[in-house]
Amino acid sequence: MEAMGADVFAKPPMLERAHCSLAPKPRADRPPRPFVVCFHSYKEKEKALRWARQHKLSYNGSFLRLYPVLSAALSRKRAVYKEIKRCLFERNVRFQLLYPARLRVNFNKEILTFDSPEDAQKFYKERICPVNSLLAGLPLRAIRPLQLVQNAAARLIFNLPKFTHVTPLLRSLHWLPVVARIRFKTLMLAYKAKNGPAPPYLMVMVKSRAVPRALRASSTARLEPPSLRTHGRQASRLFSVLAPRWWNELPLGVRTAESLAVFKRRLKTHLFVKHLSTSTDPLFGQCLSS
């Protein structure tokens, strides 16, 4: 009451119990034991937690933090969202884990609530992951600022001057250049759309090349490029146009990979050889079939 002030509670809240946690008494130089407080009213508890999230709580010069106490069963239900929370955090997508165990996601000014991690993962794969290919087909002048950021990051890691040649640094870090990274992400989506798993709206954009007879081309795993007449001026940037074109440029050993993990490894090796290797470097002379 004294720490929050009279603006939060007009009168002292009713408590069922309040006691120190069952832990050994700490030394004088260590933080005190947590204090367990059980509110009689659920609304008062939520009001206190909401105020503590928005303000810094202190008492006698010491900072205090309020956390809800969850049962073991509820903690396990909330823990299953750990992986999807990590994915959303890496994409800078705003989210909040609601009580008791629901995930609220704010994406593109749209707020959605999920009651299970499976539903959240499905939304993440269908709506958030494909955003990686939005840079596909952009001119080099638009991608250059991103490449300059990557170059600066590589020099910062090695603590080297501003004008240091960056290609050896990217090779040491196993980083693909931005142009190659865009192509990598687009082709990964193309593989999933061709062989699964992928959202239905992506699978209809990619079609395997149909061969009328049992010809040699039937075993090359090529894709059918769409007609550009039906897409207009911006057709060259469409996923349905770029993905088949880039896919058909891949070596046969990459296109015919038997699994997603093998395709990912061979594709990155191919792009690494194409963008960062030198003809005399034995490191990149390995066969893609390994």
- Cβ neighbors of 177 (< 8 A, separation 6 or more) are 147, 150, 170, 275, 276
Whole-model pTM? 0.54
The pLDDT tens digits for 39-78 are 888 888 888 888 888 888 887 777 888 888 888 899 999 9
pLDDT at 30: 85
Q: How far apart are CA 71 and CA 87, in angstroms?
A: 26
φ, ψ of residue 42 in degrees (nearest 5): -65, -40
Report which of 201, 214, 209 is spatially closest to residue 247, judged by C-alpha positions.
Answer: 209
Report the share of the chain in percent with pLDDT over 90. Answer: 34
230 φ, ψ (degrees, to nearest 5)? -90, 0
User: What is the 3-state composition of the chain as percent helix, strand, coil, each rounded to the nearest 5?
Assistant: 50, 10, 40
Task: Provide the percentage of residues in the chain whose pLDDT is more than 70.
Answer: 85
pLDDT at 289: 34
Write out pLDDT tens, residues 72-110: 899 999 999 998 998 888 778 899 998 889 999 998 788
pLDDT of residue 183: 92
Distance CA 105, CA 114 (A): 8
- Asked if the model's pLDDT at residue 202 lies above 80, the reply is no
Q: What are phi and psi of 63, to 5 degrees?
A: -80, 140
Model confidence pLDDT, tens digit, residues 155-192: 999 999 988 999 999 999 999 999 999 999 899 989 98
pLDDT at 267 over 90: yes
Residue 32 to residues 7, 36, 38, 49, 275: CA-CA distances in angstroms?
27, 12, 19, 20, 57
Instruction: Read off the pLDDT band of 36 (50, 70, 90).
Output: confident
User: Would you tell me how many other CB atoms lie within 10 Å of the CB of residue 237?
Assistant: 15
